[in-house]
Amino acid sequence: MSEPFAESPTTAANQKAANELRAAAGEKTHDIVQTAEEKARLLKESAAEKAKELREVAAEKTVQIRENAGENVQHLRSAAGEQWQDTRLKLREFHADSEDLIRQHPTQSVLAAAAVGLLLGLVIRR
């Protein structure tokens, strides 16, 4: 009988095949790792590039918004100035009309002022 642990030609061939499979698997794993690292590097570069583009677009939009806001402020400022001038003019006209009315009807104006004063006094007292 042959020894149970002696190497037979098929056992040696099996071990050789196993070693070759391990080596091939190691190479394949190494290739997969390198491919994954390359893809990760490309993805990182792409993400950095996209982030840079987004920062540039955001900066451009910020400048546009700032310019539009400045234009809107100028527009509102001029509209407010015009409204202020119109209000001042109307107040001057109202003042002149009131003076004319008081000069035309002095007795009625005094009695109306006294009545308004009395009513305000009563309201404030409560």
Predicted local distance difference test score (pLDDT) of residue 84 = 96
DSSP readout, the chain?
---TTSPPHHHHHHHHHHHHHHHHHHHHHHHHHHHHHHHHHHHHHHHHHHHHHHHHHHHHHHHHHHHHHHHHHHHHHHHHHHHHHHHHHHHHHHHHHHHHHHHH-HHHHHHHHHHHHHHHHHHHH-
Predicted local distance difference test score (pLDDT) of residue 72 = 93
Span 11-69, pLDDT tens digits: 877 787 777 777 777 777 877 878 888 888 889 899 999 999 999 999 999 999 999 99
pTM over the 0.75 mark: no
Query: Residue 8 contacts by C-beta under 8 Å, 6 or more apart in sequence?
Result: 2
Span 94-126, pLDDT tens digits: 999 999 999 999 999 999 999 999 999 999 988
101, 109 contact by CB (below 8 A): yes
